[in-house]
Structure 1
Amino acid sequence: MSFSHQTMFPVLRNILRLCFSFFILTGCVQIVQAQTKKPKFKVIAFYTGKNDQAHISYVHEANQFFPKMAAENNFTYEATTDWSKLNAQFLSDYQVVLFLDTRPEVPEQRADFQKYMENGGAWMGFHFAAFALTPSAFNQDWDWYHEKFLGSGQYASNTWRPTSAILRVEDHKNPATKNLPDTFRASPNEWYRWEHDLRKNADIKILISIDSTSFPLGTGPKKHEIWHSGYYPVVWTNKNYKMLYLNMGHNDIDYEGKTNKTLSHTFDNKVQNQLVVDGLLWLGTGKK
């Protein structure tokens, strides 16, 4: 059986049309599926973004970093400076709460956040979110948060200038640290020392601390701003809650030159970012 060119070309043309239509239809279905795919969890980040330029710089960076991570890992991310939304009704729609820089000051907001955590909610806090010092603009006037939840008590001191540190992973079993090397270099940061020794708190599991190879840590100019020895936890969790605190979150700023230019970036660090993302995925989908 033979075909002439006149009869074969229309047949081929129809086959090509059918194939093209099939690919277009398949592509549309895939796009619709991607657009309607249910997110794994929802994240709401609270922040203040005032006063310290180093914290403001970090917050702006965080609000660029987390939406990208949300798109790559199928969760949603929203951020707000409206702390009045820290209430039971609003929080009920989110699986993870982030404190990017500060903490709530209103008693009702504090009470609702405590209930949220006690009822199985999840939390990740950065750097200044754990700060408390009496007397200051952030007095230690929230015992549940600073004494029980974080376990750290008040702020005691810090390094200066913001410098990088070698960090040691103390527990590879936690989902936040399972993919990290034994040690890694962190982004430049202002490192905090705390009132309480977290090693003595049975509820606290220290995940990462400053490795001794980091010393001396800090450049001064004041002598007490340079650490030469000691034990300093920088990432930990409380066994009674789905929570993770990370001391990172303070960019280096050109204060001396009076340009306020950002000299370092918290999220410009692949290994450290792995910690943040794995920790967030654990909080959003795992158990305490």
Structure 2
Amino acid sequence: MRFRILYLLLLQFSYYGLFAQNHSIHFKAIAFFTGKNDLAHISFVHEANKWFSEMSKQHHFSFDSTSDWSKLNDTVLSAYQVVIFLDTRPDSIPQREAFRRYMEKGGAWMGFHFSAFALTPSAYPQNWDWYHNDFLGSGEYDGNTWRPTAAMLKVEDGKHPVTKGVPAVWKSAPNEWYKWTKDLRRNAAIRILLSIDSSSFPLGTGPKPQEIWHSGYYPVAWTNTKYRMVYFNMGHNDMDYEHGTNKELSATFGNKVQNKCILQSLLWLGKIKRFNLSE
């Protein structure tokens, strides 16, 4: 009887040990944001922080978020496997240098929408060549669609973990879409994952003619093979500016296929080798 009780206790401890191991934290992610000025970007930041926090519980990674960009330093970054830029980029030289060191030493990064924005002259000039030309490869911002509208997106690389199990063509959440000065197809280091499908045209409603796209090639998600990174152009919710209510009219994370791409991207960046996400 004594041996039977001992055996059962050992089984119980083994079970709890296995349970704890299976539910341990796989990696740590930290998101940086500014959350000022454009209400559409602020809306996205609030939504993203909530969504990533929920995903962290379901997929066993830790998620921290901060608007304190001074934490973008060697000491803090050394504790995280993935860094996320939700809306802007760092502007101070020490922060930029710390981020570059982090990436060149094998760190991982995910960026959204405005984090790639650069326009000279503007409040966010192109004054960081490594980030915009080498790391992102896109160069400066060169225009956008308006209003924020959904687009049909085409998978350009179905073999990449980010696009695994994703339909060849699918409808995105509403977004303000950017175009860039550099043609990413000409950069051998860039692996384009998603682009706007031609069935989307005309894309945008204006009122300015240049805010309605009728043709062209527009990448909206890509990775640079020299680094462990993924950029998504999504991140601008539709807002009721015209009637003064500033009400949110769309949700970036209200689209299951888009969410799957973002989550698979994060798990890939966190070096989770096997994941099978349901639709």
Hey, what's the Cα distance between the residues in 2 that align with 1:32 and 1:201? 46
Aligned ranges 1:10-25 → 2 under 5 Å? none
Alignment partner, residue 237 of structure 1: 223
Alignment partner, residue 90 of structure 1: 76
SS state of the match for residue 139, structure 1?
Answer: coil
CA contact (8 A) 2:26 2:272 kept: no
Establish whether residue 147 from structure 1 lines up as the match of residue 116 from structure 2: no
- How far apart are residue 37 of structure 1 and its match? 4.0
- How far apart are residue 178 of structure 1 and its match? 1.2
Which of 48, 70, 75 is residue 62 of structure 1 equivalent to? 48
Alignment partner, residue 46 of structure 1: 32
Establish whether residue 183 from structure 1 lines up as the match of residue 169 from structure 2: yes
Read off the aligned partner of 2:66 and give its amino acid letter.
T
- How far apart are residue 240 of structure 1 and its match? 0.4
- How far apart are residue 26 of structure 1 and its match? 5.9
Alignment partner, residue 12 of structure 1: none
1:252-284 deviation line (CA, Å, top 9, x unaligned): 000011011100000000000000000000000
- How far apart are residue 172 of structure 1 and its match? 0.9
Alignment partner, residue 283 of structure 1: 269
Alignment partner, residue 95 of structure 2: 109
TM-score scaled by length of structure 2: 0.91
Alignment partner, residue 163 of structure 1: 149
- How far apart are residue 179 of structure 1 and its match? 1.7
Hey, what's the Cα distance between the residues in 2 that align with 1:221 and 1:101? 25
1:58-94 deviation line (CA, Å, top 9, x unaligned): 0000011001111111101010000000001100000
Alignment partner, residue 7 of structure 1: none
CA contact (8 A) 2:30 2:80 kept: yes
TM-score scaled by length of structure 1: 0.88
Alignment partner, residue 5 of structure 2: none
Hey, what's the Cα distance between the residues in 1 that align with 2:272 and 2:135? 19
Alignment partner, residue 60 of structure 2: 74
Hey, what's the Cα distance between the residues in 2 that align with 1:275 and 1:110? 27
- How far apart are residue 36 of structure 1 and its match? 9.3
Structure 1: 5+ residue stretches without partners = 1-21
1:146-185 deviation line (CA, Å, top 9, x unaligned): 0000000000000000000000001011111112110110
Which of 260, 264, 279 is residue 246 of structure 2 equivalent to? 260
Hey, what's the Cα distance between the residues in 1 that align with 2:144 and 2:19? 49
Identity across aligned pairs (percent)? 63
Hey, what's the Cα distance between the residues in 2 that align with 1:283 and 1:175? 10
SS state of the match for residue 266, structure 2?
Answer: helix
Read off the aligned partner of 2:72 and give its amino acid letter.
L
Instruction: Give the structure with higher Rg (CA).
Output: 1
Structure 2: 5+ residue stretches without partners = 1-7, 274-279
Q: Please say which of residues 171-180 and 124-133 is displaced more in the overlay.
A: 171-180
Q: What's the RMSD between the two structures over aligned residues?
A: 2.2
- How far apart are residue 244 of structure 1 and its match? 0.1
- How far apart are residue 38 of structure 1 and its match? 2.5
Count of residue pairs brought into register by the alignment: 267
